[in-house]
Amino acid sequence: MVWDVYEREDGEKIARCLQMTSFGKHTIEWKYPDAWKYHCQYLPVKQRETTSRTNQPLLQLQEGMKMASQTYVHLDHFFEIDARYLVSWGGNSVGLTPGSLDVLRAKLMQFVHGGIYRKPNAAIPSPLELSGPPFFSKEAWESAARGQATEQVRSQILAGERKQVWTGLEHGVPPAL
């Protein structure tokens, strides 16, 4: 998932990406049944009946498109690639709605600044441990601010329903699905 693009000093456009996974047609609850704190690192892309035990936001694809199976954007696996090497498969680009991209950027910023659980020194080191937090362009900062405002409203609505958005830093366990 491309979440930002910037231009290096040499003029090369660089795409900033987050990995996506479907857990082999399973859900995150299947992958991490007892390690619910990891659920907070994965943002689900809205599928038919998508729910999130930790009340993570559901990312929407443009034009109501759907993925082949339940898919998640993983906040801990980010990388950069020269944009010229990216191609659209089959000529069909799939992207997030502008509002969902705002929320994704806000959640990524929350994650890299320690507001969402991350197990340090895991078997596979985080890019945060290898190179530190990613650079956020001015556009990404502005987008993240809009996403943060959206998430604050959503959190207030959930609080009215006696629910919360979990970060993995809380004590206790979120309810089962």
**Residue 46 has what DSSP assignment?**
P
The answer, yes or no, to whether residue 93 has pLDDT greater than 80, is: no
Predicted local distance difference test score (pLDDT) of residue 11 = 94
> Is pLDDT at 169 greater than 60 in this prediction?
yes
pTM, full prediction: 0.89
| Residue 90 confidence (pLDDT) above 60 | no
